[in-house]
Amino acid sequence: MELIYSFFGNPRDYASLSPDLMPLTALFALIGGVILTKFTGSFGNLTLPMNISALFIGAMSSNWMLKNVKLPVESTIEAPLMVSMIGMTIASLLMIWWIQGDAVRR
């Protein structure tokens, strides 16, 4: 996990997702990417990595953008994961729109 954080310098300054939740978010992005592949078009071997990357970026960016929003959830695990799911949902809709739109244009 420290390898991921080593690319960004000192992540404690701006990271809103704790290092303990990063593997769980990556697992959800992987599972969501596999599911999303069934609903999107195909770019060959790049479809699955693109979907996983989009979902992971959506989760991380939503946690970063909404880090000051206090949800009515008591736990430090459920609130970031709920925000991650919101980001992944938005990212998946964008991927469906982008890849399906590309298949229609051909």
C-beta neighbour count of 22 within 10 angstroms: 18
Q: For residues 10-24, give the mean pLDDT.
A: 67
Could you say which DSSP state residue 40 is in? S
Could you say which DSSP state residue 17 is in? S
Name the E strands within 1-106. Answer: none
Cβ(89)–Cβ(33) under 8 Å?
no
CA–CA separation, 63 vs 79, rounded Å? 10
Q: For residues 80-98, give the mean pLDDT.
A: 88
Per the listing, tokens 């890849």 go with 99
pTM for the model stands at 0.75
Residues found in the chain: 106
- Please name which of 45, 57, 52, 60 lies closest in space to residue 29, comparing C-alpha atoms: 52
CA–CA separation, 1 vs 102, rounded Å? 35
80 pLDDT higher than 70? yes
The burial of 89, by beta-carbon neighbours within 10 Å (0-12 exposed, 13-18 middle, 19 or more buried), is given as: middle
41 pLDDT higher than 80? no
